Structure 1
Amino acid sequence: MSITGECFCGSIKYEISGALKDARSCHCSRCRKTFSSQASAYALVDHNEFKWLQGADLLTSYSSQQSFGLQFCSKCGSTLCGTFNGLIHGVTLGCVNGDPHVEIGYHIFVGSKAAWEVMPEGVKTYAEGAPDNG
């Protein structure tokens, strides 16, 4: 069973042949701006299991100074995936079609969340990044 996703206008489509993992929501100011929301919803993917099905020529990339980047649709602006050192690192859950069989397990950088956001009770939160479990 594969997982598919696409941008808002449907010009760019992708497929993942494996499972999504380590889903999280980040509340830092950069993610709020990137996702135009209170936080991101993001899950990791094995870059070898990810492929563009349509519209890869319409992707626009942005890379930060820490080797992390984003790829988004140049037509509608949907943020589709994150990159690390030029490889697909994860996908934005808002662009995934159907049920990806993953749940957000924790919220990071809640110490810098927007003042107007109220975190629900009972969710696992970290003031900064999650501790390394490796």
Structure 2
Amino acid sequence: MSITGECFCGKVTYKIDAPLRDARSCHCSRCRKIFSAQASAYAEVAPGAFTWATGEDQLNTFDTGNGFGVRFCGNCGSTMVGVHNGAVHGVTLGCVNGDPEIEIGMHIFVGSKAAWEKMPEDVVQFEEGPPPKD
């Protein structure tokens, strides 16, 4: 299975050679701002499975602290990936092409969601971050 993705203008593209995992939507105020939406839609990538296909030189990085950050297209502004200590940690699902065969499994930081957002009743929600992985 190969997953591809691209920014809005198409100058930056990537390929992932493994299934995505741990898809989530974060509703904290920082994610709302960096994704320009009510929440993020994000899935983790297996180490070594991600490669930039075109346009890596078009990317800008914003450091969000503690070794984490995001990379976005310097031309159109699409938030493409999350990074940890310089390596791609995960992808924004809005930039994935086609069906990545994953669904949002949890909604995190719903305790700080926007006042105007209504959460569906049938989704897994956490007031703050997700529980620790075993």
- TM-score when normalising by structure 1: 0.98
Answer yes or no: is 1:108 the counterpart of 2:108. yes
Q: Which residue of 2 aligns with 1:41?
A: 41
Secondary structure in 1 aligned to 2:91?
strand
d(CA) in 2 for partners of 1:64, 1:79? 13
Deviations along 1:58-99, one digit per CA (max 9) or x if unpaired, are 000011221110000000000000001111000000000000
Is 1:31 matched up with 2:44?
A: no
Does 2:129 match 1:129? yes
Structure 1 stretches of at least 4 aligned residues deviating more than 2 Å after TM superposition:
none
**Unaligned ranges ≥5, structure 1:** none
Alignment of 1:6-25 (within 5 A): 6-25=6-25
Residues 107-129 of structure 1, C-alpha deviations (whole Å, 9 max, x = no match): 00000000000001110000000
Equivalent residue, structure 2, for 1:65: 65
Provide, for residues 9-42 of structure 1, a one-character-per-residue CA deviation record: whole Å limited to 9, x for no partner.
0000000000100000000000000000000000
1:56-95 alignment to 2 at 5 Å? Answer: 56-95=56-95
- Work out the CA distance in 2 between the residues paired with 1:130 and 1:5: 26
One-letter amino acid of the structure 2 residue matched with residue 51 of structure 1: T
Q: Distance in 2 between matches of 1:73 and 1:47?
A: 22
SS in 2 for 1:101: coil
Q: Shift in Å at residue 46 of structure 1?
A: 1.5
Q: Number of residues paired by the alignment?
A: 134
Sequence identity of aligned pairs in percent? 62
For residues 45 and 65 of structure 1, the distance between their equivalents in structure 2, rounded to whole angstroms, comes to 20
Letter aligned with residue 64 of structure 1:
T
Matched, 1:54 2:45: no
In the alignment, the residues of structure 2 paired with residue 76 and residue 124 of structure 1 have an alpha-carbon distance, to the nearest angstrom, of 33
* Structure 1 SS opposite 2:65: coil
1:120 aligns with 2:116: no
What TM-score comes out, normalization by structure 2 length? Answer: 0.98
Q: CA offset at residue 47 of structure 1?
A: 3.2
Structure 2 gaps of 5+ residues are: none
CA RMSD across the alignment: 0.6
How far residue 133 of structure 1 moved from its aligned partner, in angstroms, is 2.6
Q: Distance in 1 between matches of 2:89 and 2:122?
A: 28
